[in-house]
Structure 1
Amino acid sequence: MPGFTQRAGKYRRPNWLRNRRYGPNVFVFRNLETNQVLYTQTPFPQRYNIAKQFQGPNWQNRLPTTRNDLWRAMAVAQLPNYESAVHLYERLVQLRHMRDYTHRDVAMAMRKKNEDGNIWFYSQFRPTYTQEAVSDLISALEHLDVSAKIHWEDSWRRGDESHWEDIEVEHAEFPRYNPRERHVVLRKIADQSYKTYMSDKANFVNKALRDLAAQVRARAEARGKFETFVEHPGGPSQKWPEHQLQEGIKLREQKVSEYMKRAYAANQDLRTLPQFGNVRLRRKLRNEARHSFAVLRRVQRALEKYRRAERLRRRFTQAKAKAL
């Protein structure tokens, strides 16, 4: 799949992830030897992530190796958009920094300890790290207040269901796979989340365009539905009262400004679609935009024409009054 390269091992912003077809995900890896946890934005751990999240290693939290065979995916969080995914990753790294540095004493007080007062361990394995990672994931999602779907290595990893009651989250499990194929499964999840995001975005843009076209059509149909007033026996005229004229002008100016803002936003959203390079699709959208703009221009010209007629009528009335 394009985009999954070793050069992705550093902090990436939403546009970079979107352009290289990475899904809006956050990956949680655990070390098989030490049970240490690593957060990444891509489906594989990198040296940058280790250096960023283990800045002060010690004998209880040693600097882990980059060997891929020692890192096993524990969970994958799938977010609705890239901005939320980046914020979740930043929040998890920040919580890790708080546990290791700024609030280290508080974190140590809540950890299970052995007789010597150190973190309980067996050989090099310390279970508390994965438990803290699940707690941080719950806190980060609760802080972001977004819906998410989390794929777990095993269902017991997420802990008790009562901790997830206040969060809009859907739980799923990884398909059972051979350990040699674990990165293939992660890439499939990332690819599927990317396709889901782009499909939802395309549906949103299409709905916005349909709503805009419907409003333009309704506006065009209502152009000739203004009341007429009789001034003299010469017949009906299309003169409006002054208050109705001013209200209509302000309303039209607001509508035109709103339509232009929506058209600009829709154009920006269209540029992020994977089919933006399709010449035929761009020509069709351009023709629809020209038609909508032409309708708005006709409304503006009609207003200008009426304004000029009103000015001439006032001048004629004033000149006639002076002559008398």
Structure 2
Amino acid sequence: MNLVFFGSDPISLPLLDWLRDTPPAGSRLVGVVSQPDRPKGRGKKLAPNEISAWALANNIELLRPEKPGTELEDWLRSHDIALALVMAYGHILKKSLLATPPLGFVNFHASLLPAYRGASPIETSVANGEAETGVSLMRIIPKMDAGAVCDAERVAIEHNDTGGSMREKLAVACVPLIERGLPALLEGRAEFTEQDAEAVTYCRKLVKADGALDFNAKADELAARINGLFPWPGGFCDYQGTRLKVKSAVAETGHGAPGEILAANVDGLTVACGEGAIRIYELQRPAGKMLSVGDFLRGFPLDSGTFLDGGELTKLVSKAPFPRHV
């Protein structure tokens, strides 16, 4: 059975390596569909994304349509594609395309559905203080992340995890999921269960303003926000007019006015919150590098009793889909 993969994000590279090296007997990956080349780097030269580069390096036919349409449907038919696998492709797929492969389209979504449908499930699950997340294998239907689910690989979120570290863990988690799921899909024995409509939550595409820190929030809420939004957009606040970017933090006990610096030393920067305090471990100032607080203080002193200024925490999770402009 011929397979095709749709994707544009490096999170699916371990999955692709598995498809190349150990596909189920009688199946093979014959094509990759990704986004067109985009300008990159200082010179803004056109360059392939990591998924396109993988296909080129492995001599697998690569298609990069600006929008998936009838020509892609024709290609699927001409190559006898039985099943399409998708992860972080970046396009809405039409009904006619979804109906082309006999076994349909299945998607690897980086959350434990029905929670965190939408564009930023990894970062938002960490930023929302979840204890675990995972990757769900689901049917694609013409409604955002709403298809029936046949399996999921669960992954714990540790206290020191960031959005970036969880992205790496979930990339690896795709492998056992496809090991279990692909043979069942090809043999017609995969069982799909509809999502619980009452448990659905949505996340959205992140924007730079989401990194603004509100020290009136509870410490555990603010620490989760800082960790979840690293590396992008990254948590940030201001100190006497200088923008500081924050990488990692934990909640702890402490008392003071929100935003008050309680301690600044090699062990970290302790800042009072609306309830409790957070200890920040890494900081970055404009045009500087991300440094441990101990190293940062050598060139940029932060005095106890002074204050960090923040903003208001934006809404990242909703029971209803976010408007497109948010």
TM-score scaled by length of structure 1: 0.24
TM-score scaled by length of structure 2: 0.24
Q: Which structure dedicates a bigger proportion of its chain to helix?
A: 1
Q: Which structure dedicates a bigger proportion of its chain to strand?
A: 2
Which has more radius of gyration?
1
